[in-house]
Amino acid sequence: MFPLVPVSAAAFDLDVALAYATADNFTGKPVYRAEAGCWLHADAARLLARTVELARPLGLRLRVLDAFRPAEAQWVLWNHTPDPGFLADPRRGSPHSMGAAVDLDLIDIASGQALDMGTAFDEFTPRSHHGNQDISPQAQRNRHLLMGLMTTAGWDFYRHEWWHYQMFNARANYPVLSDTLLGPDGMMPPG
């Protein structure tokens, strides 16, 4: 069985804006092909669908910023910024590279605007930690709202990144996957 399923905006009723398919990320350049698809392990996709169901009645929509991250991409990120407080060492394996993690934020359906989370995605500072009180009270509430939705749906969180959620015991239950698994639809640019 193919372990990854595509996560599309239409099929999941969410937004997909893969940060690493653009230059708008901490490396300053695209890591994925511009047309890279969004993928998750089937188990993680089920949890994500549950989160969408929980968010909708609150007038909220999920926006996925990263999901499956091929092992090759994890090396690109690590080689740029080898910070184990914010990036998994690729020798250990990232839950992203297992299709068992997702980075996301929330959008208000009525306004179409992203909720203020106090920092940008991938701001590698203590201000990005869950429970940080050096951000506005509204941003703190928004982070707690996201955490409540995600943990209620069955996700675990990473305390250093308000945007990162993963499946419990991912490293014990899922293998690290290569971009080659996706064949010609791979996420990495050629060469």
Tell me which residues are annotated as active site.
161
Contacts of 86 (CB under 8 A, 6+ apart): 122, 124, 128, 160, 161
Of 73, 15, 4, 14, whose CA–CA distance to 45 is shortest? 4
Q: Would you state the torsion angle of the CA atoms of residues 89, 90, 91, 92, taken in this order, to the nearest 10 degrees?
A: 60
Question: What are the structure tokens assigned to 58, written together?
Answer: 């609150």
Give the Å distances, CA to CA, from 36 to 6, 29, 62, 154, 163.
11, 14, 19, 27, 20
Helices (H), 40-185: 42-55, 71-80, 137-153, 170-173
Q: Would you tell me how many other CB atoms lie within 10 Å of the CB of residue 152?
A: 11
Torsional sign, CA 121, 122, 123, 128: positive
